[in-house]
Amino acid sequence: MSITIKSASEIEKMRMAGKLAADVLEMLEPYVVAGITTDELDKICHDYIVDIQQAIPAPLNYHGFPKSICTSINQTVCHGIPSDKKLKQGDIVNIDITVIKDDYHGDTSKMFCIGEVSQHAKRLVKITEEAMYLGIEQVKAGATLGDVGHAIQQHAESNRYSVVRDFCGHGIGKNFHEEPQVLHYGKPNTGITLEAGMIITIEPMINIGKKDVKVLADGWTAVTKDRSLSAQFEHTILVTPTGYEILTLRTEEQSRFE
């Protein structure tokens, strides 16, 4: 599959899908507290996407995934399946939302801290979010994917964390996962050159311990092999002639980009 350059009308649809995905995370915030199960969070999101947004939760039945969102707690790196497990004080959890509206996908995730979390968990979440933003800031027509990956890797490793290699960002549009693959490590001036109209996700997964992960018997849930904490943030990004546009920007982030 080749990389698609989105037309003006496709970009408009991607803006809408991205906004809806961001809206789901904003809507969910008050519910993400100790004592709630990830199944309950899944139902809240499913009903909101389907009934309120008149949209489709992309993960549901995607290659057999059984739920409408991914919930990845503590040492779970990504693709955690919602269950009857309750969130508890001190947990960190990534909630990953992908919405399909008018055939186009908006994909985003963020970390939630449940009550008072440990200093090292808080620091991991902060550095991971910063790493994502540093990657995003490299995006413009003429830059390379290596520039993006390098910025993320450098920030993570300079803070003595590791970057997960087994999963990466991706092109996105009518398909959930399109070309190119967006690695979260790399060397400057290497890899594919970005062009205006490309839309990609940047979604670094950063571990406190080693980078190695394993996928559990359910075929989805990826965890750190050394059981260390992992964090992830994700945005859907449009490449513009002079820079980037974050299609999944939440209200709480807007002041950062003014």
How far is residue 224's CA from residue 77's CA, in Å, rounded to a whole number? Answer: 6
Average pLDDT over the chain, rounded to whole?
97
Angle at which helix 119-137 crosses helix 145-158, to 10 degrees, equals 160
Q: pLDDT tier at 1 (50, 70, 90 boundaries)? A: low
Which two structure tokens, joined as six digits, stand for 142? 């003429």
pLDDT in tens, 183-193: 999 999 999 99
Give residue for tokens 């985003």.
108
Q: Note if the pTM is more than 0.85.
A: yes
Residue 194's CB: how many other CB atoms inside 10 A? Answer: 24
255 falls in which pLDDT band (50, 70, 90)? confident
- Phi/psi of residue 243, nearest 5 degrees: 175, -125
Q: Which domains does the chain have, with CATH numbers?
A: 8-248 (3.90.230.10)
32, 95 in Cβ contact below 8 A?
yes
For residue 48, name the pLDDT band (cuts at 50, 70, 90). Answer: very high
Burial of 189 per CB tally in 10 Å (0-12, 13-18, 19+): exposed
pLDDT digits (tens, 9 = 90+) for 118-169: 999 999 999 999 999 999 999 999 999 999 999 999 999 999 999 999 999 9
State CA 28 to chain mean position distance. 16
Identify whether 241 is preceded by a cis peptide bond (ω within 30 of 0): no
pLDDT for position 143: 97
Encode pLDDT of 213-231 as tens digits.
999 999 999 999 999 999 9
Q: Which of 176, 177, 152 is nearest to 231 (CA)?
A: 152
Tell me how far apart the alpha carbons of residues 6 and 203 are, in angstroms, rounded to a whole number: 21
Rounded CA-CA distance 118/100 in Å is 36
